[in-house]
């Protein structure tokens, strides 16, 4: 399969998964979120859409490059397992935080997600440097989001 087709598949799938989380951030849930005591450094709400759209594109490109350039075997399987673990945690966080309003559980999930992202980044980078580097902004953003989640948990 050609690289461009792998990129297209990954972009469509990763962005569709990311868009699924939008269900939990609309309507009355925005009212709940707006009512929370905010930690210092919370960005305006309009920032989240463009940031996550960009990050999901980078995550998808990272996955496509790794998929395309790394030979099958235990290293690839381990790295992809970690990738899918961090994606499952990514998908779980939004309904836990915004849907169930479980800030403490969401904090546990996001910490685990950050760990899984960092492991994925290292494993991807060992086999395909560009694939690992593309995950650096994602790791930084999730680190920041972990701080925010912890702040919301402590303040609310």
CATH of the domain at 123: 1.20.1260.100
Handedness of CA 124, 130, 131, 136 (dihedral sign): positive
State the Cα torsion 87-88-89-95 to the nearest 10°: 110
Residues of the chain with pLDDT under 70: 24-30
Q: What is the pLDDT of residue 25?
A: 65
Q: What is the pLDDT of residue 24?
A: 67
Q: What is the pLDDT of residue 129?
A: 97
Q: What is the pLDDT of residue 152?
A: 98
Task: Please tell me whether residue 6 adopts helix, strand or coil conformation.
Answer: helix
Taking alpha carbons only, the member of 114, 14, 88 closest to residue 57 is 14
The tens digit of pLDDT for each residue in 17-46 reads 888 877 766 665 668 888 999 999 999 989
Residue 142 contacts by C-beta under 8 Å, 6 or more apart in sequence? Answer: 110, 113, 114, 117
Q: What is the pLDDT of residue 75?
A: 95
Tally of domains within the chain: 1
135/46 Cα distance (integer angstroms): 22
Taking alpha carbons only, the member of 63, 74, 75, 38 closest to residue 156 is 38
Structural domain span for residue 36: 3-155
Neighbours of 154 (CB within 10 A): 12
Q: What is the pLDDT of residue 134?
A: 98
Read off the pTM: 0.93
């Amino acid at each position: 399969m050609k690289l461009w087709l792998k990129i297209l598949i990954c972009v469509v799938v990763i962005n569709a998964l990311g868009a699924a989380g939008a269900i939990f951030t609309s309507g009355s849930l925005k009212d709940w979120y707006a009512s929370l005591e905010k930690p210092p450094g919370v960005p305006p709400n309009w920032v989240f859409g463009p940031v996550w759209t960009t990050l999901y594109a980078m995550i998808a490109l990272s996955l496509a490059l790794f998929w395309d350039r790394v030979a099958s075997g235990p290293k690839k399987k381990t790295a992809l397992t970690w990738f899918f673990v961090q994606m499952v945690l990514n998908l779980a966080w939004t309904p836990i935080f915004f849907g169930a309003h479980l800030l403490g559980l969401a904090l546990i999930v996001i910490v685990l997600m950050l760990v899984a992202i960092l492991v994925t980044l290292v494993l991807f980078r060992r086999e395909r440097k560009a694939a690992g580097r593309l995950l650096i902004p994602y790791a930084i953003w999730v680190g920041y989001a972990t701080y925010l989640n912890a702040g919301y948990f402590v303040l609310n």
